[in-house]
């Protein structure tokens, strides 16, 4: 998403032709896709093993295209485990590299920050505290602000969104954001749906929206002879089915994330960029996340921060509850959501914290500042 906005800005300013790896948004922004990001989208450590063949194939394809075309600059966005290796190959072919959205090495494996300075001509960071971290590691770095400050805004009034999806404005609406990669959704959606079932037992008037990333294709298949439904989700070549609890009447939202989140009374959000989006939209949230057991054991060795959720990391204190791994259970999730719905004090406290988060992320213009840096490099 960030790269698509930057691509559109660079094309407008310079008329340059851009090619590389991306998804639907980058395709719409006019980037020639050599590889599709959904093919390599994976989170975790042990989970990467199943993707190794396609990761290697994609790496080779991008490297060969870059060597043949000799671009003026390579802009590598986030995805550090892949892009650090790609940058090394590109530099061997005398291709200059800029790191757009510097990796969160301050949270885990901080010693890797020096690799950014060795393989990238400049790093662009989106959180204010990252600039000092990278500068101390000897990395040429520029703080540009967070792109979401300009991007994360609803496109329609709440009443219009609710009417479009047949939702009652007088009843609570809970948005479900289980992640943007299929392996995330596999682990997060089951306890989230279980929590919805528990919430309905205690608060029958609740309504639920399942907010899906553009790369996920939904299909709701009604169960034959039962009062339940099966939700089938597809992404790339993978497909998974989930049981939807009876009576949930789940509304599926695709392509309208900000409208869905801003219209919700509360949200259950998988840890990641979606927590920053939800904070900027001012919606109270419960943060959840599960990874494979082996990944958890490895991460515990490397993580150096007290928190995982970005709102908590940004403020240095717990603003939103984090239910991770064994704590990510339907009863725990349901209890935190019900607290936000039933306790005005808890809700107001979280809203005040989310307002602080918004204040820390800058005044906007991050994409424009990133384009300024890159255009100067092209000169």
Residue 153 resides in a domain: no
| More confident position, 226 or 16 | 16
Which has the closest alpha carbon to 276: 357, 206, 351, 210?
357
Is residue 49 very low, low, confident or very high in pLDDT (cuts 50, 70, 90)?
low
Looking at the structure, do residues 94 and 14 belong to the same domain, yes or no? yes
**266 and 305 assigned to the same domain:** yes
Least confident of 8-17, 89-98, 167-176, 239-248: 239-248
Q: Give the pTM.
A: 0.84
**Residue 135: what pLDDT?**
96
Could you tell me which residues are beta bridge partners of residue 252? Answer: 210
* pLDDT of res. 296: 55
Confidence at residue 225, expressed as pLDDT on a 0 to 100 scale: 42
Asked whether residue 230 is assigned to any structural domain, the reply reads yes
Residue 360 makes CB contacts below 8 A (sequence gap 6+) with 128, 314, 315
What's the average model confidence in pLDDT over 276-299? Answer: 84
pLDDT band at residue 219 under the 50/70/90 scheme:
confident
Q: What pLDDT score does 279 carry?
A: 98
Q: How does strand 229-235 pair with strand 217-222? A: antiparallel
Shared domain check, 206 and 184: yes
Q: Within a domain: residue 150?
A: no
Q: In terms of domains, do 95 and 49 share one?
A: yes
Q: Compute the distance between CA of residue 235 and CA of residue 181 in angstroms, rounded to an integer.
A: 8
Whether 240 and 304 map to the same domain: the answer is yes
CATH number of the domain bearing residue 283: 3.40.50.2000
pLDDT at 207 over 60: yes
128-155 mean pLDDT = 94
Q: Residue 224 — pLDDT band, cuts 50, 70, 90?
A: very low
- C-alpha to C-alpha distances, 370 to 11, 37, 62, 185, 365, nearest whole angstrom: 13, 22, 23, 31, 9
Instruction: Looking at the structure, tell me whether residues 167 and 90 fall in a common domain.
Output: no
Nearest Cα neighbor of 214 from 30, 38, 17 is 38
Could you give the number of structural domains in the chain?
2
Residue 299, in any domain of the structure? yes
Nearest to 82 by CA among 42, 34, 32: 42
* Residues across the chain: 379
Flag whether 292 is in a domain.
yes
Q: Which of 1, 4, 2 is nearest to 12 (CA)?
A: 4
The pLDDT tens digits for 314-372 are 998 999 999 998 899 999 999 999 999 999 999 999 999 999 999 989 889 999 999 99
> HSE-up of 187 (CA within 13 Å, CB side)?
23
**Together in a domain, 58 and 12:** yes
Domain membership flag for residue 152: no
Does any domain span residue 262? Answer: yes
Confidence label for 57 from pLDDT (cuts 50, 70 and 90): very high
Q: Give yes or no: residues 171 and 252 share one domain.
A: yes
pLDDT value at residue 84? 96
**In terms of domains, do 292 and 341 share one?**
yes
Domain range spanning residue 118? 2-145+364-378
83 vs 247, residue with greater confidence: 83
Average pLDDT of the residues of the chain? 91
The answer on 211 and 118 residing in a single domain is: no
Across the beta sheet with 97-100, the strand order is: 74-77, 97-100, 122-125, 141-143
Q: Are residues 17 and 137 in the same domain?
A: yes
Residue with tokens 């949200």: 267
Q: Domain for residue 15, yes or no? A: yes
Q: Is there a single domain that holds both residue 103 and residue 220?
A: no
């Amino acid at each position: 998403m960030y790269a698509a906005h930057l691509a559109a800005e660079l094309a407008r300013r310079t008329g340059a032709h851009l090619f590389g790896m991306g998804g639907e948004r980058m395709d719409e922004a006019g980037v020639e896709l050599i590889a599709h990001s959904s093919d390599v989208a994976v989170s975790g450590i042990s989970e990467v093993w199943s993707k190794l063949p396609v990761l290697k194939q994609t790496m080779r394809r991008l490297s060969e295209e870059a060597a043949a075309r000799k671009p003026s600059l390579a802009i590598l966005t986030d995805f550090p485990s892949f892009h650090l290796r790609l940058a090394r190959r590109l530099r061997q072919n005398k291709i200059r590299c800029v790191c757009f959205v510097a990796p969160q090495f301050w949270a885990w494996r901080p010693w890797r920050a020096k690799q950014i300075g060795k393989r990238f001509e400049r790093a662009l960071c989106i959180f204010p505290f990252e600039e000092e971290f990278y500068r101390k590691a000897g990395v040429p770095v520029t703080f540009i602000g967070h792109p979401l400050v300009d991007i994360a805004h609803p496109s329609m009034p709440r009443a219009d969104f609710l009417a479009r999806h047949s939702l009652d404005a007088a009843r609570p609406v809970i948005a479900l954001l289980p992640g943007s990669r299929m392996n995330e959704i596999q682990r997060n959606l089951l306890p989230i749906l279980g929590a919805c079932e528990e919430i309905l037992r205690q608060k029958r008037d609740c309504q639920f929206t399942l907010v899906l990333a553009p790369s996920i294709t939904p299909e709701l298949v009604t169960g034959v002879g039962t009062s339940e439904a099966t939700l089938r989700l597809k992404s790339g070549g993978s497909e998974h089915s989930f049981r939807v609890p009876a009576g949930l009447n789940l509304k599926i939202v695709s392509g309208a994330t900000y409208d869905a989140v801003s219209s919700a009374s509360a949200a259950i959000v998988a840890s990641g960029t979606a927590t920053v989006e939800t904070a900027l939209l001012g919606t109270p949230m419960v943060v959840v996340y599960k990874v494979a057991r082996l990944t958890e054991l490895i991460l515990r060795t490397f993580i150096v921060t007290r928190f995982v959720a970005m709102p908590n990391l940004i403020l240095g204190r717990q603003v939103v509850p984090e239910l991770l791994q064994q704590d990510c259970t339907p009863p725990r999730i349901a209890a935190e959501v019900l607290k936000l719905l039933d306790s005005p004090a808890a809700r107001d406290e979280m809203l005040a914290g989310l307002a602080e988060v918004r204040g820390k992320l800058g005044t906007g213009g991050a994409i424009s500042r990133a384009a300024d840096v890159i255009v100067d490099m092209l000169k």
